[in-house]
Amino acid sequence: MVEYDRTQQREQAEKSGLKICVVGVGGAGSNVIDRITTDRTVDATLVAMQTDVRVLHNSISPKKLQLGIELMRGVGAGGDPDLGREAALYSKEQIREVLDGHDMIFISVGLGGGTGSGAAPVIAEIAKNTGATVLVFAAVPFNFEGRRRTTQAREALERLQKSADALILFENNRMGELLLPKEGIQKAFVLADTLISQSVRAVTNMLSAPGLVKLGLADLVSALRVTDGRCLFGFGEAKGQNRGTEALKRALKSPLINQGQLLQCAQNLLVHVVGGESLTITEVEVIMKQLGRHVPDDTQILFGLGVDPKLGESLSVTLISALSATQLASLSIEEAEELAPAPVERRAPRPAPAPKSPQTLELFASSNGNGVHSDEELETRPTVAMKAAVASVPPPPAELFKPSAPEPAPARVAKPTPAPEPLPEPVAEVEPEEVEVVYQRDADEEVEEEEVVAPVMNPRNRDEGIKLSQVIGLGTGKAATRATARLTQVVDEIELGTEPESPNTEANDAFEVTGHVELTPVLQAQPETAAIPIRRETTVRARTVEATPAARQPQPNKENEFFTPAVTTMQATPVAIAPATTTPAAEQQTFRLGQEDRGRFKDTEPAIVQGEDLDIPTWMRLRKKLKR
């Protein structure tokens, strides 16, 4: 640990000289480099690497490197990634020479072609081996470019993933589609380049510029951490009055974000606000508030704030997030109501971030070992970095490159690091869902089995003065059996639930029976049982106070006590039911229950008033309100 601290100290000293290199590979890559060169916005070594000497000649990049001179003789790879790779391998030494001595290497590449898909992975690997942090900005080909290019791009991506610390993917399709269906094709490509160059610039600034609230590579990685993720990127800069709002507006205008609509589904969002020295806290507040409207509440916002005197009077906002490709495809058109289910589905892959997160962690470990940069990561996420560092102390590089190192992942999950910590959220959200699931079962049964009234009239019970509805509750179920794990809870619940009412012998009988698997469905009907007294009391109360729906919410303590047992069981069972859950988590805000609860109205347009789906039985909603 002492050693570790010392490393950090040393790095702090040389921090100002963070050396960045931007490499453009292939045609698309060098276009991006051209753009960055003309914009002169990034303080970095710019290198264009190409196999085709003619293209390379046209490039205005300050540094150029012709790949595989002997092999290719200045001719392009002709769309063959193998050739591209060969070429890069031939020029291995030159590449290393160029890249050596940089702390951070950005590789911008257009995938699908020969040089891009072939050489980029090799270059990334070399870059990695120099000990730098490697970020890859890759453009995925347009659909019309054909299947072959798409496959090549995919293969290249897989390779790139192995050596890149972060992979920022741009889908050309999206950019083209959203922005300029009618404009010239050249413009489409140019725009794609512009966007990439903009993001290179933004990311460089973010990672290198000093920050008040610092965002590090770790944050970037976690913002992008989605399986098969596509980058949502927005950048806006504005001056003058209202510059905050304006900048945000421009950032949201980015085609990749689709007017902010796509942010609705993002689980992590990185926001970086940079301003000149005149940046005020109100401006930042306003920006974040406005952004909040585009982002669901449960999205993790990674906020960064920097002051860059170079910006002068202007203020820039950068938004970075990622959505999985499939999601993008499905969401881009039909947004609307179905937003709610999406987060749940997405949440599933996250806790086990497939191949990416181990890599990123390896990365930290290795970069620490190499003593390069990494101070910002350390600042922002000490725990993870520490863990990684600890993990990396004994092992030689060989270990670091093992594709799946098991220990980093648990570390990430267990520690509530400042970096996004997805796990607690899902758990929290399952609880309310749980309630829905139980109801759904009710509704299902109600549809499938028609005659359930029969058991209701069990005169025995009535004599004992048990509430009728409770009898219904006990007698209703005949459907599927539940996991035995739930049984005990069921028993508890009944005990607690009935005691205040009438702790009579009949009830006890019921408990004994419940011990058997057959009667488990009691749980399903339980909500019904619980319902009655609430309704009784509340409605009477409501009437005395006022007749408005709002007034029906009083939550006297007595009722709360009475219902806690039911609630707790709900919480205790999520594991058993979670897999079956497909219902939206959105009922946090709305009182929407499951689709099934809407009964005959389930295929119709919901009648939602003030967040309540009025198609769901009134009594059900009232009870739900009370439980909260």
The interface region with other proteins, picked from 52-60, 161-169, 226-234, 462-470 by CB under 8 A, is 462-470
- Interface region with other proteins, contact rule CB under 8 A, candidates 137-145, 418-426, 571-579, 614-622: 614-622
Q: How far is the CB of 520 from other proteins (least distance, A)?
A: 16
**Total residues in contact with other proteins, by rule CB under 8 A:** 44
Instruction: Please tell me whether residue 480 binds other proteins under the rule CB under 8 A.
Output: no
Strand ranges for 145-210 from DSSP E: 166-171
Closer residue to other proteins, CB minimum distance, 505 or 548: 548
Q: In what order do the strands lie in the sheet with 268-275?
A: 211-213, 300-307, 268-275, 315-324, 229-238
Cβ closest to other proteins, residue 187 vs residue 462: 462
Q: Choose, by CB under 8 A, the member of 446, 464, 495, 559 that binds other proteins.
A: 446
Query: Distances in Å between the alpha carbon of 487 and those of 336, 442, 448?
Result: 40, 18, 24
Query: Six-digit token pair at 84?
Result: 């591209």
- The CB-of-612 to other proteins minimum distance in angstroms stands at 9
In the complex, the smallest distance separating the C-beta of residue 625 from other proteins, rounded to whole angstroms, is: 12
Backbone φ and ψ for 563, nearest 5 degrees, come out as -100, -5
Stretch that binds other proteins, among 204-212, 294-302, 412-420, 609-617 (CB under 8 A): 609-617
Instruction: Give the whole-angstrom CA distance, residue 502 versus residue 489.
Output: 20
Residues 6 or more apart whose Cβ sits within 8 Å of residue 86: 68, 71, 118
* CA 622/CA 30 separation, integer angstroms: 63
Using the rule CB under 8 A, which residue among 185, 213, 453, 575 binds other proteins? 453
Nearer to other proteins, 452 or 576 (CB): 452
Radius of gyration of the chain (CA): 30
Neighbours of 379 (CB within 10 A): 17
* Residues 146-185 as x/- pattern, contact with other proteins by CB under 8 A: ----------------------------------------
Q: Is 454 in the site for other proteins (CB under 8 A)?
A: yes
Sequence-separated (6 or more) residues with CB below 8 Å from residue 58: none
Q: Are strands 166-171 and 63-66 parallel, antiparallel or unpaired?
A: unpaired
549 touches other proteins (CB under 8 A)? yes
Closest distance to other proteins from the beta carbon of 462 (Å) = 8
**Segment 484 to 543, residues that bind other proteins, using CB under 8 A:** 525, 528, 531-532, 535-536, 539
Question: What 3 state SS string does 541-608 have?
Answer: HHHHHCCCHHHHCCCCHHHHHHHHHHHHHHHHCHHHHHHHCCCCHHHHCCCCCCHHHHHHHCCCCCCE
As given in the structure block, the two tokens for residue 396 are 């030689």
Instruction: Give the three-state DSSP class for 269.
Output: strand
When asked if residue 336 is in the footprint of other proteins (CB under 8 A), the reply is no
Of 70 and 450, nearer to other proteins (C-beta) is 450
Binding part of the chain for other proteins, among 96-104, 108-116, 382-390, 616-624 by CB under 8 A, reads 616-624
Residue 269 engages other proteins in binding (rule: CB under 8 A): no
At 429, which amino acid appears?
E
Nearer to other proteins, 472 or 577 (CB): 472
CB of 317 to other proteins, least distance (A): 32
Q: What are phi and psi of 20, to 5 degrees?
A: -120, 140
Beta strands per DSSP E along 125-180: 133-140, 166-171
Among 88, 474, 620, 626, binds other proteins (CB under 8 A): 620
Interface with other proteins, residue 575, by CB under 8 A: no
Candidate residues 3, 333, 450, 557; the one interacting with other proteins per rule CB under 8 A = 450
Q: Is 619 in the site for other proteins (CB under 8 A)?
A: yes
* Identity of the residue, 378 or 443, whose beta carbon is nearer to other proteins in the bound complex: 443
Is residue 614 near other proteins by the rule CB under 8 A?
A: yes
- Residues 31/193, Cβ–Cβ less than 8 Å: yes
Binding status of residue 572 toward other proteins by CB under 8 A: no
109 secondary structure, DSSP code: E
What's the min distance (Å) between Cβ of 500 and other proteins? 18
Distance CA 235, CA 320 (A): 9
Which residues of this chain interact with other proteins, rule CB under 8 A? Answer: 442-443, 445-447, 450-457, 462, 468-469, 472, 476, 525, 528, 531-532, 535-536, 539, 547-549, 597, 599-601, 603-605, 607, 609, 614-615, 617-620, 622
